Amino acid sequence: MVKPSKRVEEFEKMGFGMFVHWGLYSQLGRGEWTYYHHIRDMNEYKKLKDTFTAEDFNAEEMVLTAKKAGCKYITLTTRHHEGFSLYDTCGLSVFDAPHSPCGRDLVREFVDACNKYDIVPFFYHTTLDWYNKDYVNDFETYLEYLRKSVEILCTNYGKIGGLWFDGNWNKPDDDWKLDELYGTIRKHQPEAMIINNTGLGARGEICHPEIDSVTFEQGRPTPLNREKMSKYVSAEMCYTLNDHWGIGYSDFNYKSPKELVECLCDCRKVGANLLLNIGPGPQGNIIPMQRELLSIIGDWMNIFGEAIYEGKPYESHSIGKNFILKGDGCLYIFCYDLGPEGMKDVIVGGKYKGVYAFSGIKDKVKSIKWLDNKEELDFAQDGENLMVNFTGSPYGTSYLVRVAKAVTV
Ligand code: GLC
């Protein structure tokens, strides 16, 4: 099978990233598609620029929130479908942050903060545009505007992790001149990842030979069949904390830490990255609920992160959701739903503890310990079958997914 390039390998190793959807729409608090669903009048909508101060946007705080959660990269919406750029478009358009009361280049602040704290900056960039009339009236001219916009992002901010495009699905039959767009990136940022969101309906699709990673939107990613691929592409799944990408004040449907941690593990099971989204408030403040959810994931990552970063897909079988990843001289055994153990009149949990069987284990196991408290686990290996006795989570803990490390010969 084809081997991943260095950039793809590094991308896969990062494993977990933070997505940020923030733009003029955030001032209305009803999702990033509010123009399309509620307004449909750009003369009206563009007034949001006049009240955009970004006074609560603190790039360092955002980067540290991601870092604390265990994210290694952040993908920021430098321009979303509304057409407003958080960066200085250098004269290409007046619909950008420097021309708003904010008067700053927010992408510059973002990149500086990323570099300071060793987080890799990625740029989300829309291809669909509700503001630029050429998108509808003169597509060729629009594509040149898009290409120049991307060129600015590739030349003004130092080394970036990659570009994340979104919107081609809006004009599926048009020629997007991708050779030129992607060629511009390769010219200025040869090591940057090129990602294009193929949309909800086209999960895991490769739309162009330059694409480095396919996308999955919401749910769970499926394993990629790389046998017929001429080049190795990675996979990334993006996921909302509730039901919208841009902040929705009346969207109460937040996911639980259990769902989020399980999702991260399920992504890694098939070798995909998880890109978990936050939607900051009107002027860039991070919403407390979103910060808290990320911080719980961070607490979990502090204990089990090694398995998330180091573990690679491993062909083996198990009953239920449990699975194994391969690390360097070891296996990581992911165990779901153990629940806390304790006095039976007090604690409801621990019901799934006990012996679990795995098959297809080609490595010889020497010892197995929980990653958290290093307790040794009893096991037996018979050929490719491995039986492990999972003790429950000790009283006082409940790990959602608990990971054991098996040292192999
Ligand atoms: C969709 C939406 C968009 C969002 C993106 C994130 O394509 O159009 O609003 O940014 O998904 O994956």
Instruction: Render pLDDT for 9-37 as a digit per residue (tens, 0 to 9).
Output: 999 999 999 999 999 999 999 999 999 99
Share of the chain above pLDDT 90, in %: 92
Q: Is the pLDDT confidence value at 144 over 80? A: yes
Determine whether 52 is exposed, middle or buried from the number of CB atoms within 10 Å of its CB (0-12, 13-18, 19+): buried
So what's the pLDDT on residue 345?
Answer: 80
So what's the pLDDT on residue 199?
Answer: 87
Nearest of 96, 114, 17, 12 to residue 59 by alpha carbon: 114
Ligand 1, CB within 6 Å, residue ranges: 21, 32-33, 166, 197, 199, 217, 238, 245
So what's the pLDDT on residue 347?
Answer: 78
Q: Average pLDDT for residues 215-233, to the nearest whole number?
A: 94
Q: Average pLDDT for residues 79-101, to the nearest whole number?
A: 98
Q: Is the dihedral of CA 206, 212, 218, 224 positive or negative?
A: positive
Q: Average pLDDT for residues 163-179, to the nearest whole number?
A: 98
Taking the centre of ligand 1 as the mean of its atom positions, its distance from the CA of residue 165, in whole angstroms, is 10
Q: Average pLDDT for residues 199-227, to the nearest whole number?
A: 94
| H/E segment holding residue 196 | strand 193-197
Q: Is the pLDDT confidence value at 349 over 90? A: no
Report pLDDT digits (tens) over 331-340. 999 999 998 8
Taking the centre of ligand 1 as the mean of its atom positions, its distance from the CA of residue 200, in whole angstroms, is 9
Q: State the Rg of the chain over Cα.
A: 23
> Looking at ligand 1, which residue's alpha carbon is closest to its atom 1?
199
Q: Are 339 and 351 in contact (CB under 8 A)?
A: yes
The set of residues, in sequence order, having a beta carbon less than 8 Å from that of 286 and lying 6+ positions away, is 61, 62, 65, 278, 280
Taking the centre of ligand 1 as the mean of its atom positions, its distance from the CA of residue 48, in whole angstroms, is 20
C-alpha 6: how far from its chain's center? Answer: 19
Binned at pLDDT 50, 70 and 90, residue 327 comes out as very high
Give me the domains of the chain, ranges plus CATH numbers. 6-310 (3.20.20.80), 314-408 (2.60.40.1180)
- Of 20, 245, 274, the one to substitute when testing ligand 1's pocket (max ligand atoms within 8 A of C-beta) is 245
Alpha-carbon span 400 to 50, nearest angstrom: 45
So what's the pLDDT on residue 343?
Answer: 81
The mean pLDDT value of the chain amounts to 97
Alpha-carbon span 218 to 234, nearest angstrom: 17
Report pLDDT digits (tens) over 267-320. 999 999 999 999 999 999 999 999 999 999 999 999 999 999 999 999 999 988
So what's the pLDDT on residue 341?
Answer: 85
**Residues forming a β-bridge with 397:** none
DSSP string, 21-55: --SGGGGTTB-TTHIIIII--HHHHGGGGGG---T
Taking the centre of ligand 1 as the mean of its atom positions, its distance from the CA of residue 29, in whole angstroms, is 16
Using alpha carbons only, what angle is made at residue 123 by residues 97 and 44, rounded to the nearest 5 degrees?
A: 40
Taking the centre of ligand 1 as the mean of its atom positions, its distance from the CA of residue 166, in whole angstroms, is 7
Report pLDDT digits (tens) over 209-221. 999 999 999 999 9
> Which ligand 1 atom is the nearest neighbour of the CA of 199?
7
Strands of 38-144, DSSP E: 73-79, 120-126
Tell me the pTM.
Answer: 0.98
Residue bearing tokens 């990659």: 162
